[in-house]
Amino acid sequence: MGSDPLKRAPVVDTPYGSSREVIPLEKGEEPPWWDFRRAPCFRETLMWSVGGATVLGGMEAIRGRPGVKVGNMFVGTFSFLAITCWGICRYDTRMRHKSVSDAMTAQNVRQQELARAAREQGPPPPAPIPK
């Protein structure tokens, strides 16, 4: 069950970042509810929230706070950063998708205008026959 990992296309690194691999589901296959790698912005949110919570929790531990307060700081910071980073990431993703959609719409309009202008102009004159 699932796609064959040997048949997947390799991940390509470009100057603009790494292309993310999309693993298509086979026909009739449902993703499990715990398949978080398909959740939008999950990786970035988790990295920022774990990193930030670790730094602040570590600072509290260095300051000599009791373990319960360090744990509370870690969990609170993790929760706050996870919610905040997820919201920011989703907003950026939505704006990126909107800009791509707007660019595609503008391109389609431009192609329609060029096609209309070519139809109005008529067929090109025949090429002269070389002597």
Cα separation of 102 and 106, whole Å? 6
Return the closest-CA partner of residue 80 out of 111, 110, 56, 108.
56
Q: pLDDT tens digits for 18-76?
A: 455 555 556 666 666 667 767 778 888 999 999 999 999 999 999 999 999 999 999 99
Per the CB < 8 A criterion, the answer to whether 47 and 27 are in contact is: no
Cα separation of 42 and 47, whole Å? 9
